[in-house]
Amino acid sequence: MNIFEIKNFSVNVEGKEIIKDFSLSIKAGEVHAIMGKNGSGKTTLSMSLMGHPAYDVTSGQVFLSGEDITDLDTEEKARKGLFLGMQHPVAIPGVSVGNFLRTALKNVWGDKVPVTEIRKRIKDEAQKMKIPAEFLSRSLNDGFSGGEKKKLETLQLSLLAPKFAIMDETDSGLDIDALKSVAEKIHSLRSPERGFLIITHYQRILNYVKPDYVHVMINGKIVKSGGPELALVLESEGYEGMSPVKNEGAKA
């Protein structure tokens, strides 16, 4: 069964079409990677799938576990199990990490999990990821290093346990050690019930989170799809050699 499906998806930003008739199907348990250079539309794709108001979806549909979620509000998509790990998590001074995580989990889990249990789970998970307790009292992403921001995105991924996660350039801004730790955490969260879409410039994160399929994106379209070896070809030959072909993503 397809855990996540994008059909004929087109997106405009300030009147300009950035994503063009984009289609991709991902089965439960699979990890797909989208690779593309700057300006190819990768972040536009991820932000519009999650429903950012600045991105205007002009056509197409998005399905999560077979349910059409195209027109749902962002929070509804999240509650149904879609997660977006952001490339540039925004700083929110005055909202503590702990308060944010508690509120998010309360909203997603509803009243069935008591607050004390929510607190415990946050603390336990943070401890597992070697995140110090005082980190939870800091303002959300405010003054965080690149590594801390991505670590927090991964903590949220782990706590929210979504059905499908889009990780947008999680590797950007990370040194080698931080990349290894974040990527290994993502890898540990792979499961037969969960799908991943890893969006990246570089092959290196895919050393830790091995993809089943790799797609190359140029000008808002998938121009080539293949197995994990495609990432290695890109690494050695660059994007220049990729000639636009018919979108093969839907077949993957």
Partner 1 sequence: MSELIPSRKDENYRYTQIPLSSEGWLPESLANCEATKESFHAWTSDFYIPALKGVEVQKLIPSREAQKNNEWIFLRSESSDSKASSKKYRGALEFVVPKGKSYKVFEFLESNAESSLLMRSIRVEEGAELEYFVYQNQALNHEFVLRHFVDLAPSAKASMRFFHKGSQRGQHRVAARIAKDAEFLLEGATHLEASQHIDVWAEMQHEGATSLSQTTVWNVLLDQASAVFNGMIRILKNCPQTKAYQSNKTLLLSEKARVSTIPKLEISTDDVKCSHGASVSTLDPDQLFYLRSRGISRESAQDMLVEAFTMPVLQHVPKCLLSEHEQASLGLKGDSHVF
State yes or no: residue 84 binds partner 1 (CB under 8 A): yes
CA dist., res. 87 & res. 70, Å (int): 22
245 lines the binding site for partner 1 (CB under 8 A): no
| 156 touches partner 1 by CB under 8 A | yes
Q: Is 98 in the site for partner 1 (CB under 8 A)?
A: yes
Give whichever of 8 and 107 is closer to partner 1, judged by the CB atom.
107
Note whether 126 and 71 are within 8 A (CB): no
CB of 126 to partner 1, least distance (A): 9
Q: Figure out which of the listed residues 3, 45, 62, 136 binds partner 1, where binding follows CB under 8 A.
A: 136
Q: Is 137 in the site for partner 1 (CB under 8 A)?
A: yes
Q: Secondary structure of 71-111 in the HEC alphabet?
A: CCCHHHHHHHCEEEECCCCCCEEEEEHHHHHHHHHHHHHHH
Instruction: Report the nearest approach of partner 1 to the CB of residue 180 (Å).
Output: 25
In whole angstroms, the minimum distance from the beta carbon of 124 to partner 1 comes to 13
Q: List the beta bridge partners of residue 48.
A: none
CA distance 129 to 121: 12
Give the angle 150-126-199 at the CA atoms, nearest 5°. Answer: 25
Distance between first and last Cα of the chain? 13
Tokens for 26, please give them.
């991902």
Q: What whole-number distance in Å separates Cα of residue 27 and Cα of residue 211?
A: 12
Q: Does 90 bind partner 1 (CB under 8 A)?
A: yes
H or E stretch at 151: helix 146-160
Cβ-based nearer residue to partner 1, 19 or 86: 86
Binding mask 46-75 for partner 1 (x = CB under 8 A): ----xxxxx------------------xxx
Q: Compute the distance between CA of residue 137 and CA of residue 97 in angstroms, rounded to an integer.
A: 6
Number of residues that bind partner 1 (CB under 8 A): 36
Which residues lie closer than 8 Å to 142 by C-beta, 6 or more apart? Answer: 91, 92, 93
- 93 near partner 1 (CB under 8 A): yes
Query: CB-wise, 32 or 77, nearer to partner 1?
Result: 77
- Contact residues for partner 1 (CB under 8 A)? 50-54, 73-75, 77-79, 84, 86, 89-90, 92-100, 103-104, 107-108, 119, 122, 133, 136-137, 139, 156, 160
